[in-house]
Amino acid sequence: METTTRARPAASLLLTSVAFFMVALDALVVVTALPAIHAELGGTMATLEWTVNAYGLAFASGIITASALGDRLGRRRVYVAGLILFSAASAACALAPTAATLIAARAVQGLGAAVVTPLSLTILTSSFPASRRSTVVGIWGGIAGLAVAAGPLVGGGVVQSLSWHWIFWVNVPIGLAAAAASARLLPESYGPARRLDLPALPLIAGAALAITWGLVRAGGSGWGDGYVIALLAGGVALLGGFGLRERAAADPMVPLPLFRSRAFAAANATAFLQSAAIFSAAFLTTQYFQLGLGYGPLAAGIRLLPWTATPMVIAPLAGAAADRIGTRPLLVTGLALQAGGLAWVAVLASSAGGYGRFVAPLIIAGVGISMSIPTVASAALGAVPPARIGTASGVNNTMQRFGGAFGVAVVTAVFTAHGSLASAAGVVAGYRPALAISALLSLAGSAAAAAVGRRRSAAVHAAAGPEPVAAAAPAGR
């Protein structure tokens, strides 16, 4: 049985939102700083791209492990440790004297983010009754939208007015203050009272690392590259080993029977396809606005706001609606709307003409992701018993990371086959069919969401209010 200290819902919402915004922002803010980092630290741009990749790979490989540690050792305890790790790594990034040092520090920062992201959601949902969880997850999803929208703007503004070092320095006081407040105000909670399955940890972490690395590399080297094939095959083999270990383990990290639930499996398939569509479309459209239409990085980020900023407004409303009508209608409709909006942008794309033609389809796509981002998390968490929400959060976040890497790899291959970066016309030639693939991925996500359960969030495990109150950890911890 899950046990917790007394929940403070308002404090949980505020503190987890601030921390989640910080780590989500850092996934994107560094992109606009790459030229400035290159000018100071040297190295090739390909090397500096690893300041992005190292963060993402560490993030993806650590999520399920972090969730398992939180369930066993205490979610608040592990969450606070993750915030401290993230803050320390941010300071190391700011002080990095070489590109290699920066890449290493970014990897550690990604591990901190892997702890904070799933546990922020688990702690948040544990602090509210089931009837209000979709609403608060909607707010949490709106924070994600704010981070996506603000990333390029904050990065461009800080680099332009101060220096690239400050995109990392700003995390240090915020992260440490959040850690101190979280240690005092957040409830402590645990998953089922079981031991940590140590042999499973390197299997799932290695599988996540190899698969994500293979997908990232496939975008540049192609699916036939020997290194890509070896990484993906090795990742699948490790994942198979993890499954065998979990089947035999008395205390599994991820109980395989969870996947027998059609609703849980469908929610995670939807998360994978949703992230594949969103990440690939954002990657493509940023390049199109800059290289195809001639906008600078900051101007391109501003012009994406009709799509990326919409979740700030709509996602909390979508979360509240999910408590009344269920997650499935919002997921199916939202991902279909995004598919339509992206397809419309692909049809309109050219190297001539004004920006105004894109506003309406970007808003439609933005409304779509505003409906789906918070509800896919609610669907996954609502499909498992309350004691398993930590595991569900870890699996769902990992599927999103896999999906993002997969989507970017696929559309990069399509872009390369049809266009090039050598001219605006070449960018358009590659962008249109590649963005059509993003639209199809979103449409596939809508189809997968049709298998998500019909029940309203409030009705799922209706007996679960805020998690049971207990001041002490279960025996044996």
pLDDT of residue 441: 95
Topology of domain 260-460 in CATH is: Growth Hormone; Chain: A; (1.20.1250)
pLDDT of residue 445: 93
pLDDT of residue 80: 96
Task: Return the HEC string of 427-447.
Answer: HHHHHHHHHHHHHHHHHHHHH
Please write down the long-range contacts of 220-228, taking CB distance under 8 Å and 24 or more positions apart: 220/412, 222/413, 223/409, 223/413
pLDDT of residue 421: 75
pLDDT of residue 242: 83
Phi/psi at 4 (nearest 5 deg)?
-145, 160
Q: Packing angle between helix 34-41 and helix 99-126, nearest 10 degrees?
A: 140
The residues spanned by each domain of the chain are 9-184, 200-248, 260-460
Same fold? 9-184, 260-460: yes
CA distances 411 to 82, 146, 417, 430, Å, are: 33, 25, 10, 9
CATH hierarchy code of domain 9-184: 1.20.1250.20
Q: Packing angle between helix 424-449 and helix 359-382, nearest 10 degrees?
A: 40
Give the largest Cα separation in the chain, rounded. 68
Residues 164 and 149: their CA atoms lie apart, in Å, by 19
Residues 277 and 337: their CA atoms lie apart, in Å, by 12
Q: Using an 8 Å Cβ cutoff, are 147 and 28 in contact?
A: yes
CA distances 95 to 58, 85, 88, 165, 169, Å, are: 20, 15, 11, 7, 9
DSSP code at position 473: P
Structure tokens at 89: 């790594």
pLDDT of residue 465: 35
DSSP 3-state of 128: coil
Residues 395 and 117: their CA atoms lie apart, in Å, by 12
Q: How many CB atoms lie within 10 A of CB 287?
A: 17
Residues 420 and 411: their CA atoms lie apart, in Å, by 13
Q: Using an 8 Å Cβ cutoff, are 389 and 125 in contact?
A: yes
Structure tokens at 101: 């040092």
Query: Residues of 55-80 as b/e, b for ≥16 C-beta within 10 angstroms?
Result: bbbbbbbbbbbbbbbbbbbbbbbbbb
pLDDT of residue 457: 44
pLDDT tens per residue, the chain (477 residues)?
A: 354 555 577 888 888 888 888 888 887 777 767 777 877 887 665 566 677 778 878 888 888 888 888 888 888 999 999 999 999 999 999 999 988 899 899 999 999 999 998 888 888 877 777 667 667 777 776 776 677 667 767 777 787 778 889 989 989 999 999 999 999 888 888 776 567 777 777 887 888 788 878 877 776 677 788 888 999 899 899 988 888 887 777 777 777 777 778 888 888 899 899 988 988 888 788 778 878 888 876 787 788 888 877 877 777 777 677 777 777 888 999 999 999 999 999 999 887 778 889 999 999 998 998 888 878 877 877 777 776 777 777 788 788 878 887 888 788 888 888 888 778 888 899 999 999 999 999 999 999 988 876 554 433 343 333 333 333 333 344
Alpha-carbon torsion angle 262, 263, 268, 273, nearest 10: 90
pTM for this entry: 0.75
pLDDT of residue 100: 87
